[in-house]
C-alpha cells in the first residue's frame, strides 16, 4: 500500500482494474479515456496482440519486473 501511495503521489499513478472479459472496442475506449503513458497487459493469453491495437504497450514476461521512475 505504501508503494501504491508513493506512485500515486509522485507519478499520477492510477490503479485501474476491470473484471470480466472486455472486447477490443471496450479496451480501446477504456485506454483512450485513461490516456496512460504505458499499458501492460496482464492476465491474457494474447498479450503480444496488444501492440497491434495500442501505441503505448510494454509486454512483460511472467515474473519480469519493470522499474517505474
Contact 57, 50 (CB under 8 A): yes
Tens digits of residue pLDDT in 38-68: 999 988 888 999 999 998 999 999 889 988 8
pTM above 0.85, yes or no: no
Kindly provide the b/e burial profile for residues 8-26, where b requires at least 16 CB atoms within 10 angstroms of the residue's own CB. eeeeeeeeeeeeeeeeeee
pLDDT for 28: 93
Q: How far is Cα 45 from Cα 48, in angstroms, rounded to an integer? A: 9
* Residue that the C-alpha cell 485513461 belongs to: 34
Amino acid at each position: 500500500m505504501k508503494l501504491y501511495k508513493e506512485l500515486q503521489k509522485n507519478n499520477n499513478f492510477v490503479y485501474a482494474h476491470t473484471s470480466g472479459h472486455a472486447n477490443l472496442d471496450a479496451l480501446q475506449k477504456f485506454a483512450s479515456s485513461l490516456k496512460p503513458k504505458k499499458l501492460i497487459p496482464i492476465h491474457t493469453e494474447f498479450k503480444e496482440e496488444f501492440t497491434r491495437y495500442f501505441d503505448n504497450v510494454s509486454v512483460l514476461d511472467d515474473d519480469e519486473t519493470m522499474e517505474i521512475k
